[in-house]
Structure 1
Amino acid sequence: MNSLEGLLDRPVPAAPVDLTLRRGAARVLMDNWTGASTVPSPALYPHQWSWDSAFIAIGQRHLSARRAQRELESLLAAQWSDGRIPHIVFNPAVAADAYFPSPDFWQSSTAGRAAGAPPAPETSGIVQPPVHALAAWLVHVADPAESRRRGFLARVQPRLAAWHEYLLTRRDLGGRGLAALVHPWEPGMDNSPCWDRALARVEPATAGTFRRADLVHGHPADRPTDLDYGRYVRLAADYREAGYDDRGARHGFAVEDPSFNALLITSELALAAMSHELGMPGERYTERAGRLTRTLVERLWDAEAGLFRVRDLHDDTLVGEDSVSGLIPLLVPHLPEDVVRRLRATLLGPRFHAPATELVPSYDLTGHAFDSHRYWRGPAWFNTAWLIHRGLRAHGLRQDAERIRSGFLEQATRSDFAEYIDPATGEGRGARRFSWTAALALDMLCADHEEFRP
Structure 2
Amino acid sequence: MSVADPIAPAPTTLPRSAIGSRVFSVENPDGWTAYAAEYERPLAESVLFAGLRSNAPVEFAVDEAGVSVATAGELSWRDPDGRDRRADPAGRAWRWEASGGSGPVELARHAASLAQQNADWEAWDARCPVVDERFAATTRLCWRTLGLNTVRLRSHPETLAVVPSLFGYVGAWQWDAYFIALGLRHGHPELARDQLRLVTGAQAADGQLPDVVHDGGVLANGRDLPDADRQRLLEHGSSYADAAVPLTKPPLLLWTAEQLHAVAPDDAFLAEMIDRAGANHAWWYRDSVRAGQPCYLHPYSSGLDDSPAFDTPAGPTPDLAAYLITADRLMEVLRPEASDPSRRARTADWLSRQTGAATVIDLLALFAGGPDRRHPESPTDRPEHSANRHPEPSANRHPEPSANRHLEPPTNRHPGERRDLPPARAAELATALADPHRFGGPTAVATVSRQEPAYSAGRLWRGPVWLNTNLLLAAGLRANGFAELAAAVEASSLRLVEAGGPYEYFDADAGTPASTAVPFFGWTAAIYVDLAVRLSAGSARSAGPNH
For normalisation by structure 2, the TM-score amounts to 0.58
- 8 Å CA contact retained: 1:380, 1:423: yes
- Whether the aligned pair in 2 keeps the contact of 1:26 and 1:63 (CA below 8 Å) is no
Q: Which residue of 1 aligns with 2:521?
A: 434
Q: 1:40 touches 1:48 (CA, 8 Å); kept in 2?
A: yes
1:7-48 per-residue CA deviation (whole Å, 9 max, x = no partner) reads: 6547612x3231212211111111112243221111321111
Asked if residue 12 in structure 1 is aligned to residue 98 in structure 2, the reply is no
Aligned to 1:156: 273
Contact persistence 1:133–1:268 (CA under 8 A): no
Equivalent of 1:92 in 192, 216, 224: 216
Q: Secondary structure at 1:89's aligned position in 2?
A: strand
- Identity rate, percent: 27
CA deviation map 1:191-215 (0-9, x unaligned): 11111233xxxxxxxxxxxxxxxxx
1:101 and 2:219 aligned: no
Q: Given the alignment, which residue of 157, 166, 177 partners 1:42?
A: 166
Question: Is residue 67 from structure 1 mapped to residue 153 from structure 2 by the alignment?
Answer: no
The counterpart of 2:532, out of the listed 445, 448, 451, is 445
- Matching residue's letter, 1:352: R
Distance 1:368 1:93, change over 3 A: closer
List alignment gaps of at least 5 residues for structure 1: 95-99, 107-123, 199-253, 276-280, 308-321
TM-score normalised over the length of structure 1? 0.70
- CA deviations on 1:370-417 (whole Å, 9 max, x unpaired) are 111211111111111111111111122121111111111111122211
Greater strand content: 2
Q: Which amino acid aligns with 1:136?
A: A
- CA gap of 1:404–1:105, structure 2 versus 1, over 3 A, is closer
CA contact (8 A) 1:90 1:103 kept: no
Alignment of 1:141-152 (within 5 A): 141-144=262-265, 147-148=266-267, 151-152=268-269
**Quick check: 178-187 or 285-294, which moved more?**
285-294
For structure 2, the residue ranges without an aligned partner over 5 or more in a row are 1-18, 20-119, 153-158, 219-223, 231-244, 371-418, 542-547
For the residue of structure 2 that corresponds to 1:420, the secondary structure is coil
Structure with greater helix percent = 1
Choose which of 449, 460, 465 in structure 2 pairs with 1:375: 460
1:153-175 per-position Cα deviation (integer Å, ceiling 9, x unaligned): 12222111100000011112222
Shift of 1:87: 0.7
Checking the alignment, whether the CA contact within 8 Å between 2:434 and 2:441 is kept in structure 1 is: no
SS at match of 2:169: coil
What is residue 286 of structure 2 aligned with on the other side?
169
Structure 2 CA distance, aligned partners of 1:324 and 1:383? 11
Greater C-alpha Rg: 2
The answer to whether the 8 Å contact 1:415/1:432 transfers is no
State whether structure 2 residue 302 is matched by structure 1 residue 187. yes
- Take 1:7 and 1:158, find their aligned partners in 2: how far apart are those partners? 34
Equivalent position to 2:428, from 323, 337, 342: 342
Choose between structure 1 and 2 for higher RCO, CA contacts under 8 A separated by at least 6 residues.
1
In structure 1, C-alpha distance between the alignment counterparts of 2:169 and 2:422, rounded to whole Å: 39
Q: CA deviation at 1:92?
A: 3.2
Distance in 2 (alpha carbons) for counterparts of 1:187 and 1:410: 27
Q: What does residue range 226-375 of structure 1 map to in structure 2 within 5 Å?
A: 254-275=314-335, 281-282=336-337, 284-285=339-340, 288-298=343-353, 301-302=354-355, 305=356, 307=357, 322-332=358-368, 333=370, 334=419, 335-357=421-443, 359-375=444-460
Distance in 2 of aligned mates of 1:103 and 1:47: 16
Alpha-carbon separation, structure 2, partners of 1:7 and 1:271 = 36
Would you say 1:401 and 2:479 are equivalent positions?
A: no
User: Would you say the 8 A contact 1:127–1:186 is kept in 2?
Assistant: yes
The whole-number CA distance in structure 2 between the counterparts of 1:292 and 1:7 is 44
Distance in 1 (CA, whole Å) between partners of 2:227 and 2:214 is 7
